[in-house]
Amino acid sequence: MWEYTDKVKDHFLNPRNVGEIEDADGAGEVGSLACGDALRLTFKLDEKKRIKDAKFKTFGCASAIASSSALTEIIKGMTLDEATKVTNQDIANYLGGLPEEKMHCSVMGREALETAIAHYRGQKVVKEDFEVVCKCFGVTDREIIKAIRENDLKTVEQVTYYTKAGGGCAKCHPKIEALIEQTRKEMEKEKPPAKPERKKLTNIQKIKLVEETLGREIIPALKADGGDLELIDIEGNRVLVALRGKCSFCPSSEVTLKQYVESKLREFVSDDIEVEEVRA
Amino acid sequence: MRVVYVDNNATTKVAPEVLEVMMPYFSDYYGNPSSMHFFGGQVQRKVNEAREKVADLLGADASEIVFTSCGTESDNAAILGTVDSYPEKRHFVTSRVEHPAVGNVATYLTRKGYKVNELSVDREGQLDLDELKEALTDQTAVVSIMYANNETGVIFPVEKIGEIVKSKGIPFHTDAVQTAGKIPLNMKKSTVDMLSISGHKLHAPKGIGVLYIRKGTKFSPFLIGGHQEKGRRGGTENVPYIVALGKACELARKNMNDENMRVKALRDYLEQRILEKIPNTLVNGDRSNRLPNTLNVSFEYVEGESILLLLSDLGICASSGSACTSGSLEPSHVLRAMGVPFTAAHGSIRFSLSIYNTKEEMDYIIENLPPIIQRLRDISPFWKDYLKSQGKK
């Protein structure tokens, strides 16, 4: 028996938003009877282009029904741009997790959403543009790569759990292995170079380092624009500063503090630095 | 919560009579049957008695009964033990609908370089005996074909199969794990050389099995060890479970009639009412050659795991051949081999009864199943499509 969370059980036994919106703005269907699960998603937008209503019809197991129900709850109230950012992990997290073997149910939810949004925008998700890697379940290289990236997958077995690819005759396993290797290499390259491990600083070291960094990296740059900054205090990881000169009445000083001062201090001192402005 | 257990092809309840007779062999009569002292000797006698009872159920001689740990061990031992006895023969014949205890041995032998023929089945789940005839060669080491299918209950014409196999002088094994205790067996008049049974499918505990080996059959032990089981299976006898299995076989003989009359009537009643009450439902497997306790039905456009969990919520325990329940992504290999269409294969449910089931329990299932199927069909996108295609609203 599968270990489903109470949330999965709840959304299976009491699914939210079952049905089809007749005059839907967006509609997407993924899966098939042959594959053992399928999801038909419809949504309606309000005048502000937010998802006002979303409904689903699903053929599949308990986790497929629960994932569909969760998806509709998640996207209601979202703009389409927000909805495009919903990942299968969001769906799984909403349900308090899914058994790994069942993660493909959450991926099916994300794909239905993607298809429905593309339908609304008049785009077509053309399968022909991509190579069908798994012929048993009709899974393309694009879908497999996306799953590897979004879920940090490492093995063929995991790819099967998340996309179903490779779950039939197994002939595509070498191809999936190659995709994993290639994609993980790309992911590795895209990763920012790992910073050398930092030693934990004592308070005194931290204060010194903050002062040095301010003096060397930050204050000269601010002064160049007619501004200035004064260190008031350091409490743990909180660096309290007061803005001076032009900075004190600059409308973008908040941005300067967070995106410039804080990020510089994080780079040179410690990852957990929070910069706060005090009026003094 | 109320429990209606209709998953007896998965496992059965240990009969109270069985439990009672086995208990003293844990801490009162715990001697080793091989010992020379009276304390072991009295246990040896009980093991012999149990062996007689098992032999009686199979219509065999007690010397032909080998106790094992489970049905899987019996299957493995029969096939691999025979293959080992004929090292020059590199061919194995089986069917496409075997239990994994045989099916995965076929895969193993393929990897080892054996040629393997897996015979196909038709839409009813029946074999084509001509295909069997054609498959057999002088290189065939052993043929293993199940007696009755665990998922559909379809019974194969084992004696006819045996005739064909024996006419070529090839050893014949059958997995009768689902058969023993449900339909009469008589090894004295049989063409079968080896036959596997499993205790927990007939109200004995899990962890005990039997391999029947006809006198004169060439066999190499699978578990190599002491002289137990006349050197055919090493390892100290699992005395309490052997005693239990003896009792269970004695009960099974007594209950055979009940199984074939009352249990069959309950199964038929359940089947008929389900077909009447739920549209787009079909029975999987040859209904005229079927175990009396098994019903495999498919509900089109819905998925088996969902049905099972909703049934389970009401205390009804059944099983499914759907992909999601097996942990694989494809529906049961048995239903696929039969060519059951996808519209139905994913929504298959197996009800398997025992002598402990009642008519009242069948009524409980019949009352609760139709709303469950309707509820899932209301969620399914394909059901509405189907209704539309039928011009219904």
Count contacts between A and B (CB, < 8 Å).
Answer: 76
Cα–Cα distance between B217 and A244 in angstroms, integer?
Answer: 99
pLDDT at A125: 62
Check if A138 contacts B (Cβ < 8 Å). no
Average of per-residue pLDDT across B274-298? 96
Q: Would you tell me which CATH number, out of the four given (3.40.640.10, 1.10.10.10, 3.40.50.300, 3.90.420.10), belongs to the domain B16-252?
A: 3.40.640.10
Query: Do A101 and B378 make contact, defined as CB atoms within 8 angstroms?
Result: no
Find the mean pLDDT for residues B106-130. 97
The C-alpha torsion from A98 through A102 and A103 to A106, rounded to 10°, is: -80
With cut-offs at 50, 70 and 90, classify the pLDDT of residue A195: low
Calculate what percentage of chain B has a pLDDT beyond 90.
91
Q: Which residue of B has its CA nearest to A29?
A: B381
Contact between B135 and B127 (Cβ < 8 Å): no
Q: Which backbone phi and psi does B359 adopt, to 5 degrees?
A: -65, -35
pLDDT digits (tens, 9 = 90+) for B19-31: 999 999 999 999 9
Pairing status of strand A227-235 against strand A238-245 = antiparallel
3-state helix, strand, coil in chain B (%, to 5): 45, 15, 40
Question: What value does the mean pLDDT take over residues B290-314?
Answer: 95
Chain A residue at shortest CA distance from B379: A57
Return the CATH number of the domain spanning residue range A203-277: 3.30.300.130
Instruction: Write down the pTM of the prediction.
Output: 0.82
CB atoms within 10 A of CB A211: 12
Contact A36 B306 (CB under 8 A): no
Q: For the domain bounded by B4-10+255-389, which CATH number is listed?
A: 3.90.1150.10
Placement of tokens 């009755």 in the chain: B148
Give me the pLDDT at residue B126, please: 97
pLDDT digits (tens, 9 = 90+) for B382-393: 998 899 998 865
Nearest partner of A45 among A81, A86, A77, A87, judged by Cα: A77
Q: For residues B334 and B348, give the distance between their C-alpha atoms in angstroms, rounded to a whole number.
A: 11
CA distances to A134, A137, B301 from B345, rounded to whole Å, are 21, 16, 9
Domain A6-120 fold is Sufe protein. Chain: A (3.90.1010)
Chain B, nearest residue to A104 by Cα: B329
Two tokens, residue B386 = 């189907």
ipTM above 0.90, yes or no: no
User: Is the separation of the CB atoms in B349 and B305 below 8 Å?
Assistant: no
Of A217, A104, A210, nearest in space to A163 by CA = A104
User: Which of the two residues, A122 and B166, has the higher pLDDT score?
Assistant: B166
Q: Is there a contact between A33 and B382 if contact means CB atoms under 8 Å apart?
A: yes
What value does the mean pLDDT take over residues B298-315? 94
What residue spans define the domains of chain A? 6-120, 127-190, 203-277
Q: Please provide the average confidence, as pLDDT, over all residues in chain A.
A: 88
CA distance B249 to B156: 22
Residue B294: which H helix or E strand, with range?
strand B294-299
Active site residue A134: no
Say which CATH topology domain A127-190 has: Arc Repressor Mutant, subunit A (1.10.10)
pLDDT at A8 over 80: yes
For residue A169, indicate whether it is catalytic.
Answer: no
What's the pLDDT at A247?
74
Q: pLDDT band at residue A110, thresholds of 50, 70 and 90?
A: very high
- Calculate mean pLDDT across residues B264-278: 97
User: Using CA atoms, how far apart are residues A55 and A43, in angstroms rounded to an integer?
Assistant: 6
Is residue A37 a contact partner of residue A58, using CB atoms and an 8 Å limit?
yes
Pairing of strands A37-45, A51-59: antiparallel
Angstrom distance (rounded) from CA B135 to CA B92: 9
> Which of A218, A208, A215 is CA-nearest to residue A256?
A218
Give strand ranges (E) for B152-241.
172-175, 194-198, 209-213
Find the chain B residues whose C-beta atoms sit closer than 8 A to any C-beta of A.
Answer: 301-306, 309-310, 313, 322-325, 327-331, 342-343, 346, 378-382, 384
**Statement: residue A11 has pLDDT above 70:** yes
Looking at chain B, list the stretches that DSSP marks H as alpha helix, in order from N- to C-terminal side.
16-22, 24-27, 38-58, 71-85, 100-111, 129-135, 158-167, 239-258, 264-277, 304-313, 323-326, 333-338, 342-345, 359-379, 381-389
- As a whole number of angstroms, the distance between CA B264 and CA B288 comes to 12
pLDDT tens string B147-201 = 999 999 999 999 999 999 999 999 999 999 999 999 999 999 999 999 999 999 9
Residue ranges covered by each domain of chain B = 4-10+255-389, 16-252
Supply A204's token pair: 């005194």
Encode burial over B36-54: b for 16+ CB neighbours within 10 A, e otherwise: eeeebeebbebbebbbebb
User: How many Cα atoms sit within 13 Å of B172 on the Cβ side?
Assistant: 24
From the list A33, A62, A104, the residue facing B306 with the nearest CB is A62
Work out the pLDDT band at A115, boundaries 50, 70, 90: very high
Give A181 to chain B, closest Cα distance, Å. 24
Contact A13 B313 (CB under 8 A): yes
